[in-house]
Amino acid sequence: MVKCGVPNNEISNGLKGRDLLSLLDYTSEEIAYLLDYANNMKQEMLAGNMPPILAGKTLGMIFEKHSTRTRISFEVGMIQLGGHAMFMNARDLQIGRGESVYDTGHVLSEYLDGVMIRANSHEMVKELAEHASVPVINGLTDIFHPCQALADLLTVLEVKGSLAGKKIAYVGDGNNVAHSLIIAAAHMGMHAAVATPEGFEYNSELLEKAKELAAKNGGSVMATTNPVEAVTGADVVYTDVWTSMGQEEEAAARLEAFKDFQINDALVAHAKEDYMFLHCLPAHREEEVATSVIDGPNSYVFQQAGNRLHAQKAVLANVL
């Protein structure tokens, strides 16, 4: 396991100054390294030893969407590492009044050591990263949520002891959380199954890339419209809200489309007896998940939320 605060090796040197827009941009070895680093960093924090390895550095945090876990975990993470975090509502920046992404990227690079952005458009975040000379970290876009996936796998690693060969089932909307989760699982040689209703499928291009990654790492990826097929024999069962931010007008239609995709006691009976339940939160009890599951003994959703802090600190410590 890596020693946090002393990342003196080829992988950590290769991460310095890198953007984190998607886990497809990182190698499987780099993701494994970040998970080990995050695990070690968490243990050091619990032992009261958190070296200020980012002293004097400032992370700018741009938000186009509301946030609880992303904002707090990044801000606390920077503080714990000795640095500073600056909250910026996109509506309050000149970019909210029409300043170009080109100009914004160049200007922010004059002030900051890195940018974390939670945005509506992944294309805009890619453009920002192209024009910024400091690392840009994707805190969530319409296509990917890479920091969430790192925290997800860190939680599975803590509970199950390993990742390779474990089966993870995602049931629900084929959204940004699903995209990053399945890609991360493929990197780690897991067997991933994603069950979505017709019309809400996992992105087909990303699915093929995930399958290729999984094959290289001894895992597998399958997609289905049958939740039971996905969950059968699963070590981990995962879901997300059926209606994400910006989709409120679709709520009624989505409730109808997803009605057979609730994670409930009948569905998880097909998983392994010691299955883990995960949810990126916020959750709607008795909608995408039964209260008996999310508040039951197999639920690790709060440990998972807490691990956002440690996974993101590993990213920050290595790319800034």
Instruction: Give me the active site residues, please.
Output: 118, 145, 148, 240, 280, 308
Q: Which residues pair with 232 in a beta bridge?
A: none
Edge-first strand order for the sheet with 84-89 is 84-89, 58-63, 114-118, 136-140
Phi and psi at residue 91, in whole multiples of 5°? -65, -25
Task: State the chain's maximal CA–CA distance in angstroms.
Answer: 55
Block residue for tokens 């049931």: 171
- Rounded Cα distance between 265 and 291, Å, is 10
Q: Which residues pair with 117 in a beta bridge?
A: 62, 138
How far is residue 153 from each of residues 43, 103, 139, 162, measured CA to CA in Å?
16, 36, 17, 9
Amino acid (1-letter code) at residue 285: R
Measure the CA–CA gap between 247 and 249, rounded to whole angstroms: 6
Tokens of 295: 């508040």
Q: CA nearest 274: which of 291, 298, 296, 290?
A: 298
Separation of CA 91 from chain center: 24
Amino acid at 277: F
As to burial, measured by CB atoms within 10 angstroms (0-12 exposed, 13-18 middle, 19+ buried), residue 46 is exposed
- Tokens representing residue 51 in the block: 């070296």
Question: Is 217:189 a contact under the CB 8 Å cutoff?
Answer: yes
Which helix (DSSP H) or strand (DSSP E) does residue 178 occupy?
A: helix 176-187
